[in-house]
């Protein structure tokens, strides 16, 4: 793992440990690097009223926005599944709002097995819908 990815991995792992996931028992951590080179983290936060819960990625986006940054340059998601934990459809659209270069890397990792997969944002979310369509 490169030092840049290792930094995201360590941050996402720490965030995963803060997840509130009593219903799915599937804690997720996310770490993203913004245009200022800062790392912002998030975890999933579930709710007894299931649809009121949300994913790790929007938590990380929220931290990025409130810090004053506006662009996602790299993202790592960590989950305990055998298959690489991939951002859900809704999160792809949420991320899209703040991804300017669709070539940015999205990493998927496992706490013990490390980095499982890396794709570009364009591979993750082709034919994306953005503000330019409106
Ligand atoms: N989840 C995330 O937080 N991010 C993903 O990329 C995939 C799914 C969460 C949502 C829910 O709390 C749990 O994982 C099970 O779906």
CA 84 vs CA 45, 78, 113: distances in Å? 20, 8, 10
Ligand 1 atom 10: residue of nearest CA: 55
* Closest of 29, 1, 40 to residue 111, by C-alpha: 29
For 43-91, what is each residue's pLDDT tens digit?
999 999 999 999 999 999 999 999 999 999 999 999 999 999 999 999 9
Query: Which of 20, 31, 88, 117, when mutated, tests ligand 1's pocket best, judged by the most ligand atoms within 8 Å of its CB?
Result: 88
* Closest of 129, 4, 109, 133 to residue 56, by C-alpha: 109
For 80-112, what is each residue's pLDDT tens digit?
999 999 999 999 999 999 999 999 999 999 999
Residues whose beta carbon lies within 6 Å of some atom of ligand 1: 21, 24, 26, 28, 44, 46, 53, 55-57, 77, 85, 87-88, 91
In this prediction the pTM is 0.96
Neighbours of 35 (CB within 10 A): 13
| 131 CA to centre of ligand 1 in angstroms | 26
Distance from chain centroid for Cα 85: 10
- Calculate helix-pair angle for 56-67, 3-16, nearest 10 degrees: 110
């Amino acid at each position: 793992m490169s030092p840049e990815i290792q930094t995201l991995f360590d941050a996402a792992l720490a965030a995963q440990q803060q997840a509130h996931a009593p219903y799915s028992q599937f804690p997720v951590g996310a770490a993203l690097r913004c245009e200022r080179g800062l790392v912002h983290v998030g975890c999933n936060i579930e709710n007894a009223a299931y649809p009121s819960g949300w994913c790790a990625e929007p938590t990380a986006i929220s931290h990025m926005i409130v810090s004053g940054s506006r662009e996602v340059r790299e993202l790592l998601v960590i989950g305990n599944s055998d298959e690489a934990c991939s951002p859900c459809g809704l999160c792809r659209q949420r991320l899209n709002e703040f991804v300017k270069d669709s070539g940015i890397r999205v990493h998927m990792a496992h706490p013990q097995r490390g980095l499982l997969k890396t794709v570009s944002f364009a591979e993750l979310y082709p034919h994306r819908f953005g503000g330019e369509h409106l």
